[in-house]
Amino acid sequence: MGHHNIRYVGDPNADSGFWGTPTSVANFCEEDYAVTSYIAEFINTLTNLSYIYYAFRYAKSANPTAPWYRKIDFMAFSLICVGVTSAMFHGTMHQVPQLMDDLSMLLLAGALLQPIYALNQTPFRRVLVALTLIFGIGTVSVIYARSGRIVIHMWTFITLLTFIWPRTLYLVRKTGYSGAQKRVLMRSFARAGWALLAGYALWNVDLELCLGLRALRDKVGMPFSWGLELHGWWHFLTALGASHYIRLVRMLTGEEPIKVTPEDEAAVKAHRQEKEARHKR
């Protein structure tokens, strides 16, 4: 069964919560209103604070003396939107907040895409990139909001991600960075990728093995069972990965410095010497 079709409903307290019976197309493995009658999915709601935390924790650092609101660029703002709308969705499990949550993910993807495709382009092409993203994401958002078909959101998000990472690697390898700078940039790329892939893996496990996870949670009891709410870990890890990627994009676009350490310089030098030694053999 496709993940967009998996929906866990009929929990014992689902109809007695403050927000009423869940109406969202998606409903995850955490039991509805199991902790409090005011929050539908307790852990899945609270873990959305990760997005907001990382947006502020790793705001633009180019000007440390600037007030906080000037450090929140559009990428960080989009990450905050993901946290707020996702918390609204998981807190209520209603369809409108779910649509807002899904659309905020497209907003974040667009915020990451625009600067890396506009980099080193003429003013006309930069405007063209922005207008293309606005029109494309806006059109899909309207279609998705009117139809409610989550598969539209899923494939749009995957498509946007597929445009992000190859362009990132191209910029790292083809833009004239030193070996040490490339090492720093690739380390950020690897950290972001690891966190996002790990989060995606846990998201899949939470969906596919829900019944087993629920049985295990019942055995260990609260609060220890909260650690087995894997969708919450998806929130934390994707927030971490997105924050790494935002900083990577800022370094690529020159909004933040690429901080090369002596260890980076030494590692690149050692690699170069090893490569030269192999050629001499």
Query: With bands split at pLDDT 50, 70 and 90, how would you rate the model's confidence at 276?
Result: low
Calpha distance 3→26 (Å, rounded): 10
Tell me: pLDDT of 240 over 60. yes
Tell me: pLDDT of 233 over 80. yes
Nearest to 99 by CA among 167, 58, 163, 148: 148
Local structure of 115: helix, strand or coil:
helix
Token pair for residue 154?
């899923």
More confident residue, 98 or 177: 98
Calpha distance 221→217 (Å, rounded): 6
> Tell me, what's the pLDDT at 3?
45
CATH of the domain at 249: 1.20.1070
Tell me: pLDDT of 109 over 70. yes
Query: With bands split at pLDDT 50, 70 and 90, how would you rate the model's confidence at 1?
Result: very low
Once rounded to an integer, what is the mean pLDDT over residues 252-272?
A: 83
> Tell me, what's the pLDDT at 89?
96
Query: With bands split at pLDDT 50, 70 and 90, how would you rate the model's confidence at 262?
Result: confident
Q: What is the mean pLDDT of the chain?
A: 89
Annotated binding site for Zn(2+): 90, 231, 235
Range of the domain at 237: 3-280
Instruction: Count how many Cα atoms sit within 13 Å of the Cα of residue 145 in the half-sphere of its side chain.
Output: 14
CB 214 within 8 A of CB 29: yes
> Tell me, what's the pLDDT at 228?
92
Residue 215: CB atoms within 10 A of its CB come to 9
More confident residue, 63 or 234: 234
Residue 35: C-alpha distances to residues 32, 44, 45, 226, 233 (Å): 8, 12, 12, 10, 18
> Tell me, what's the pLDDT at 257?
86
CB 249 within 8 A of CB 116: yes
Tell me: pLDDT of 6 over 70. no
Q: For the chain, what is the domain count?
A: 1
Task: Give percent of the chain with pLDDT exceeding 70.
Answer: 90
pLDDT tens-digit map of 140-161? 999 999 988 888 998 999 999 9
Annotated binding site for Ca(2+): 30, 41
CB 196 within 8 A of CB 240: no
Phi-psi region of 93 (alpha: psi -120 to 50; beta: other; left: phi over 0): left
The model carries a pTM of 0.89
Query: With bands split at pLDDT 50, 70 and 90, how would you rate the model's confidence at 2?
Result: very low
Rounded to 5°, angle at Cα 41 from 36 and 47: 110
Task: Give percent of the chain with pLDDT exceeding 90.
Answer: 63
Annotated binding site: 30, 41, 90, 231, 235
Tell me: pLDDT of 4 over 70. no
